[in-house]
Every structure is written in structure tokens, then in C-alpha cells.
């Protein structure tokens, strides 16, 4: 397989679809990121039905989000260094195979506990999301990487835009297992596409895993890396808190059916799509830091206005999800630039940085998702959820400002 390895980003040939002598085509990169995103939200409208099916509490089934995110975060610490050491391709294929086996296990799970175990194993698909970003950084540098990541995630955002709607309709007609059969089918298509299209892009390192793990201290002592990663962590944390609380709000507070909830939950993905489009067009012109600050500000604004509607007892499904679409748009502007910034601080550790950064923002999302699910009640409405989301959004602005101040200091000293 070494003859297919591309040894340097400077000599990376143009990607050609279904040609393993070139890097993955952008369609493959989009599907790699899209299946990971789809796994997070396609089944969310089914959570109330799954609660009844397994005869448990909503808080137990809601853990399927937090557990997936927590294992997802832990795996990213391993996936990055493994891919730097052994290459992107074998790690990617291994993760997809684990995902397919776990999805079948979830479909036939005999109990809520068995389902949650399979849900944890489904996190193997995170290899596709992490490595789609690392592959982009292998291919292009700096601001170009921010643009390409934005275009990849813009295409990816079409998946979570449609997935909850499709999942809601499938659940309404065929039951909750149908959403997981959809995941299995899409995962199998991804496996075929990666097998025949994804050429290797990681340069040979020749180092051991111990050498790769030494990259963690180097990244963790970089204030710029931490600023970018924390900005992404808190921004995405606001969205993951929404994922943890929205099914409860939709079914209990707004009394929405599964199919209608699926339609409304496409709102943040629509915003994310347009945010990605703008990031792809203008990141190189205005710079990563400017785009991060604009995106973080839009996130905070959308959450704040939504909180005011709940405090004024004027909240409706329409205005709640409309304001959440601003959260999606802000994330779409911010995340490609925060991620590209974290990968560009130490380019020789792109895979490790993708894994460590992913651990930080997915891990933070797991905590906020579980916390959001635990504090909601019919009496509280959406106020606790939106307070959590607003705090996360304001923290994202603070982290982005820290990066800006740190870079200005480095320029003065340099």
C-alpha cells in the first residue's frame, strides 16, 4: 500500500473520484464527515418512542447522546496519533467496520443497557470525521485549509439538515429501528467509497506511538492551540447542549410529534450550511480570527434572544428553532476557522491536533449534553437549557479574544 502514499502536501496530486493514487475526492470527504454527523442526530426524534420501547426513563435514553459523545471524544485522542503513525486509510477503514457492527447491535439490542453499549461502540465512526479534517490539512495549508474544511462541512451540513426529518418520518411510520437501518446502509456505502477512492495522504513518520503521543504536551503548552480548541469546544458545546435538550422540549413543552420535531430540528443545520458557505467564501479574505469572532457573536445573539422569549413566556416552536438557526449559522462561520487554526499551530502534528482538539470539543459537548438533559423538566421549560447554551457561547467569545491578544503579542515580540 506504500506505493499509494502521498509523501508531501506540496506534491499532492489533484483528487480524482475512485482513484486511490490520489487523495480522497471532496465527495468522499463530505460523506466521511456527514455520516459522523448523521449518527448524532438521525434518531433524536425517536427518543420518546425508544423510552417507551425499552420501558425506561427519558433521562436514561438521553444518555445515548452523551455516551456517544464521550466515547467519541476519547477515541479522538487515539485516532489522531494512530493516523500520524500508520496512515489515514487503515485507521479510517477500521473505524467504519466497528461502526457497522455496532449499528447492527443497536438494532437488535434486548435492553436499554445493551443499546447504550452499542451506542458507545458506534463512536468508531468518529475516525471518519477526524480524518476528513486531517486529510484536508495534509493537502493544503493555513487559510486554504479553513476554506476547504468550510466547503467540506457545508456539504456535510446537508446530512444533519435532512437526517432528523427523515429519521422522524421513518420512526413515525416504521418504528425507531428504521433510523438505525438507515445508518447501516449509509455506513456501508461509505466503506465502499473509502475502499476504492481514499488514497493515503499522511507522510511517513517512522516514529513509534510513544513518539506520536509526545505531541500532546507540545500542543497543550501552546496558548494559541488551546485558544482555538477551547473556542471550538464551547461553541460546539452550545449545540450539543441543544441536542441533549431539544427532543424533551419538542415532545414535552411544545407537544410536537416525531415527524414535526424532525422538521424543526433541521433549523440549526440550515443555519450551519449558510455559515459554512460564507466561511468558505470569505475566510481567506478576512482571516480566521475575524470569522471566529463574528461566528461566536452570532451564536450568543441567537441564544440570548431565544432565552428572552422564554422569560417573557412568548416561546413557540417557530421562534425557538428560528433563533437556534442563528446558533447553527454562527457555528458554521466559526468552527471551520477554529479547527483550521488549531491544526495550523503545529502543522507536523496535524493528526494529533485533530484528535486532541476533537477530544476537547466533543468531550465538552458530552458533558453539556448530559447536563442539559438532567436539568430539564416540564415546569422549567427551556430556560435552563438556554442559560447553559448562552454561557457556552460567551465562553467561546472569550477564548477567541484570547487567541487574538496572544497573536498580537507574538507579532510585537517577533
The pLDDT score that the predictor gives to residue 8 is 39
* 385 within 8 A of 369, measured Cβ to Cβ: no
The residue with cell 475502499 is 195
pLDDT, tens digit, for every residue of 222-231? 889 999 999 9
If one compares 179 and 262, the residue with the highest pLDDT of the two is 179
Cα 6 to its chain centre, rounded Å, is 27
The pLDDT score that the predictor gives to residue 14 is 64
- Separation CA 382–CA 385 (nearest Å): 5
Residues across the chain: 414
- The answer as to whether 290 is a domain residue is yes
Residue 26: pLDDT over 60:
yes
The residue with cell 488514497 is 199
Which stretch, 159-168, 171-180, 368-377, has highest mean pLDDT?
171-180
- The answer as to whether 350 is a domain residue is yes
- Separation CA 274–CA 328 (nearest Å): 9
- The answer as to whether 363 is a domain residue is yes
pLDDT, tens digit, for every residue of 335-393? 888 988 888 888 777 767 877 887 887 787 778 877 887 777 777 778 999 999 999 99
The pLDDT score that the predictor gives to residue 186 is 94
- Separation CA 409–CA 414 (nearest Å): 8
- The answer as to whether 13 is a domain residue is no
Residue 12: pLDDT over 60:
no
- The answer as to whether 5 is a domain residue is no
Residue 1: pLDDT over 70:
no
- Separation CA 24–CA 309 (nearest Å): 45
Nearest Cα neighbor of 403 from 354, 339, 353, 350 is 339
Task: Give mean pLDDT, residues 153-181.
Answer: 84
The pLDDT score that the predictor gives to residue 414 is 63
- The answer as to whether 10 is a domain residue is no
pLDDT, tens digit, for every residue of 283-326? 888 888 999 999 999 999 999 999 999 999 999 999 999 999 99
* 341 within 8 A of 304, measured Cβ to Cβ: no
- The answer as to whether 18 is a domain residue is no
Count of domains forming the chain: 1
Percent of the chain with pLDDT over 90: 34
If one compares 208 and 153, the residue with the highest pLDDT of the two is 153
Q: Could you write out the DSSP letters of every residue in 174-207?
A: H-THHHHHHHHHHHHHHHHHHHHH----SPP---
If one compares 80 and 63, the residue with the highest pLDDT of the two is 63
279 grid coordinates: 466561511
The pLDDT score that the predictor gives to residue 211 is 62
- The answer as to whether 8 is a domain residue is no
The pLDDT score that the predictor gives to residue 140 is 67
330 grid coordinates: 454562527
The pLDDT score that the predictor gives to residue 15 is 63
Domain membership of residue 366 as a residue range: 23-199+209-413
- Would you give the DSSP letter of residue 110? S
The pLDDT score that the predictor gives to residue 126 is 87
CATH code for the domain in which residue 301 is found: 1.20.1250.20
Amino acid at each position: 500500500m506504500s506505493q499509494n502514499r502521498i509523501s508531501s502536501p506540496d506534491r499532492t496530486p489533484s483528487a480524482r473520484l475512485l482513484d486511490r493514487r490520489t487523495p480522497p475526492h471532496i465527495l468522499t470527504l463530505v460523506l466521511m464527515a456527514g455520516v459522523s454527523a448523521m449518527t448524532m442526530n438521525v434518531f433524536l426524534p425517536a427518543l420518546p418512542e425508544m423510552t417507551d420501547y425499552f420501558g425506561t426513563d427519558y433521562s436514561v435514553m438521553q444518555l445515548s447522546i452523551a455516551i456517544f459523545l464521550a466515547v467519541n471524544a476519547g477515541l479522538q485522542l487515539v485516532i489522531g496519533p494512530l493516523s500520524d503513525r500508520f496512515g489515514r486509510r487503515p485507521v479510517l477503514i477500521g473505524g467504519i467496520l466497528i461502526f457497522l457492527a455496532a449499528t447492527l447491535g443497536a438494532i437488535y439490542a434486548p435492553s436499554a443497557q445493551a443499546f447504550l453499549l452499542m451506542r458507545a461502540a458506534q463512536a468508531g465512526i468518529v475516525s471518519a470525521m477526524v480524518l476528513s479534517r486531517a486529510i484536508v490539512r495534509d493537502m493544503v495549508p493555513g487559510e486554504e485549509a479553513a476554506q476547504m474544511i468550510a466547503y467540506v462541512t457545508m456539504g456535510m451540513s446537508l446530512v444533519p439538515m435532512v437526517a432528523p426529518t427523515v429519521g422522524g418520518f421513518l420512526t413515525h411510520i416504521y418504528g425507531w429501528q428504521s433510523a438505525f437501518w438507515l445508518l447501516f446502509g449509509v455506513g456501508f456505502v461509505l466503506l465502499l467509497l473509502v475502499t476504492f477512492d481514499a488514497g493515503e495522504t499522511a507522510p511517513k513518520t517512522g516514529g513509534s506511538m510513544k513518539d506520536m503521543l509526545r505531541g500532546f504536551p507540545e500542543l497543550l503548552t501552546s496558548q494559541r492551540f488551546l485558544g482555538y480548541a477551547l473556542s471550538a469546544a464551547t461553541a460546539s458545546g452550545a449545540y450539543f447542549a441543544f441536542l441533549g435538550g431539544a427532543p424533551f422540549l419538542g415532545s414535552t413543552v411544545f407537544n410536537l410529534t416525531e415527524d414535526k420535531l424532525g422538521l424543526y430540528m433541521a433549523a440549526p443545520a440550515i443555519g450551519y450550511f449558510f455559515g459554512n458557505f460564507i466561511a468558505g467564501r470569505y475566510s481567506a479574505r478576512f482571516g480566521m480570527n475575524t470569522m471566529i469572532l463574528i461566528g461566536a457573536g452570532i451564536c450568543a445573539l441567537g441564544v440570548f434572544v431565544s432565552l428572552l422569549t422564554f422569560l417573557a413566556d412568548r416561546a413557540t416552536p417557530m421562534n425557538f428553532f428560528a433563533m437556534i438557526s442563528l446558533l447553527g449559522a454562527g457555528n458554521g462561520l466559526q468552527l471551520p476557522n477554529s479547527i483550521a487554526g488549531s491544526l495550523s499551530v503545529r502543522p507536523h502534528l496535524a493528526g494529533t491536533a485533530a484528535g486532541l482538539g476533537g477530544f476537547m470539543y466533543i468531550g465538552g459537548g458530552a458533558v453539556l449534553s448530559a447536563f442539559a438533559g438532567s436539568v430539564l423538566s416540564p415546569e422549567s421549560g427551556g430556560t435552563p437549557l438556554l442559560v447553559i447554551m448562552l454561557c457556552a457561547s460567551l465562553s467561546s467569545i472569550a477564548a477567541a479574544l484570547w487567541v487574538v491578544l496572544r497573536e498580537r503579542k507574538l507579532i510585537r515580540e517577533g
